[in-house]
């Protein structure tokens, strides 16, 4: 029995940051870089118009430590997750007592008790609910976390599994970090939350084959470097080149293992890591440039929300209304890629 997609929803914090405004503040904050004028076009080339932030843009101008960042992370993350959870229950026509298991993924902050425990307490979910917190998957967390939720639904036939993901990338910004990675992060990342309810009972698209690949000797491509005042972004400029050179081989291995033809895939729900990454993915999938419309529009409207973004792309595609054989994919720290198939019921 395969799990069905019963609901998919998202929520965003209140502060909107236009890309022009972000560029203006970045030029001021990164004035210490001699090559800042040469780097400023990155704010245009990302393909992003705006992003959402859990803090106003003035917050970025002041120094912040672990205590400040963590308090803001926990408060805003739980608020956003609660909004997503209520929207999911409304869409699925369920009560909170119907949820048997909860999976929560995030990589942009820490919380112990974990976010799943906090949302169980906030919403007064069932006391026997099964919980699975996931940390450290970065941008791949949307697809990998959803895969783990689907695995749980298969192991618990009939159970209603709620998968939630939240990323508050804004809170990792460090104004005195003049590295290129921090400039790229300032141009690219946004905040948001999303989620899914799935179960072997119900109707809608079904979750099928999944797969992952972790490249050797790639730990320094993406991740966090823990500093005294917060998390420092590790963000290699080689990601588009790696995707262009090696992603297709990994993709073909996944398809062959699961007896899937690339020509049979009708739609792609790809995490939009950036405009150049999307260019490389389109080439790997044999698509014309610009074909990944839902991924590009999600990037344009929300920026890269790390693990949240792939779920927002999935929501944008409205597969429950227009079911298609769809491949989800994402890249993240490890350095890894993840695949997940959704099939018409």
Catalytic residues: 139
Say how far residue 337 (Cα) sits from the centre of its chain.
13
45-69 burial, b at 16+ Cβ within 10 Å, e below that, comes to ebbbebbbbbbebebbeeebeeeeb
The answer to whether 233 and 173 are in contact (CB under 8 A) is no
Does residue 135 contact residue 333 with C-beta atoms inside 8 Å? no
Residue 287 three-state SS: coil
Spatial separation of the C-alpha atoms in residues 9 and 322, rounded to whole Å: 16
Burial 97-122 (b: 16+ CB within 10 A, else e): ebbbbbbbbbbbbebeebbbbbbbee
- What tokens does 230 get? 């917060």
Helix %, strand %, coil % of the chain (to 5): 40, 25, 30
Q: Residue 194's beta-bridge partner residues?
A: 10, 165
Q: How far apart (Å, rounded) are the C-alpha atoms in residues 274 and 328? A: 16
Smallest Cα–Cα separation from 313: which of 289, 325, 332, 329? Answer: 329
Phi (first) and psi of residue 295, to 5 degrees: -65, -45
Contact 314, 295 (CB under 8 A): no
Q: Is 198 exposed, middle or buried, given 0-12, 13-18 or 19+ CB atoms closer than 10 A?
A: buried
Closest CA to 181 of 141, 114, 255, 237: 237
Q: Choose among 62, 50, 48: nearest CA to 15.
A: 50
């Amino acid at each position: 029995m395969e799990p069905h997609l019963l609901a998919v929803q998202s929520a965003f914090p209140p502060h909107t940051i236009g890309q022009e405004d972000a560029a203006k503040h970045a030029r001021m904050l990164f004035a210490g870089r001699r090559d800042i004028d040469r780097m400023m076009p990155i704010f245009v080339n990302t393909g992003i118009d705006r992003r959402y932030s859990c803090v106003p843009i003035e917050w970025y101008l002041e120094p912040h430590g672990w205590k400040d960042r963590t308090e803001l992370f926990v408060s805003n993350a739980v608020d956003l997750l609660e909004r997503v959870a209520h929207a999911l229950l409304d869409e699925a026509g369920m009560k909170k007592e119907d949820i048997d298991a909860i999976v929560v993924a995030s990589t942009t902050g820490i919380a112990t008790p974990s976010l799943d425990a906090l949302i169980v307490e906030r919403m007064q979910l069932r006391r026997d609910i099964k919980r699975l917190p996931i940390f450290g998957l970065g941008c791949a967390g949307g697809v990998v976390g959803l895969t783990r939720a689907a695995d749980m639904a298969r192991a618990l036939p009939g159970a209603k599994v709620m998968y939630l993901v939240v990323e508050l990338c804004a809170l990792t910004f460090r104004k005195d970090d003049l590295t290129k990675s921090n400039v790229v992060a300032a141009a690219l990342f946004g905040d948001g939350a999303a989620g899914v309810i799935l179960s072997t009972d119900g109707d809608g698209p079904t979750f099928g084959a999944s797969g992952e690949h972790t490249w050797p000797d790639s730990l320094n491509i993406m991740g966090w470097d823990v500093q005294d005042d917060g998390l420092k972004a590790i963000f290699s400029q080689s990601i588009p080149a790696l995707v262009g050179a090696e992603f297709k081989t990994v993709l073909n291995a996944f398809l062959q293992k699961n007896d899937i033809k690339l020509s049979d895939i009708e739609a792609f729900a790809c995490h939009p890591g950036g405009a150049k990454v999307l260019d490389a993915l389109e080439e790997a999938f044999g698509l014309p440039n610009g074909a990944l419309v839902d991924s590009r529009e999600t990037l344009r409207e929300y920026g890269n929300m790390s693990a949240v973004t792939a779920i927002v792309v999935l929501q944008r595609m409205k597969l429950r209304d227009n079911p298609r054989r769809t491949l989800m994919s994402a890249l993240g720290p490890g350095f890894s890629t993840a695949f997940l198939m959704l099939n018409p019921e």
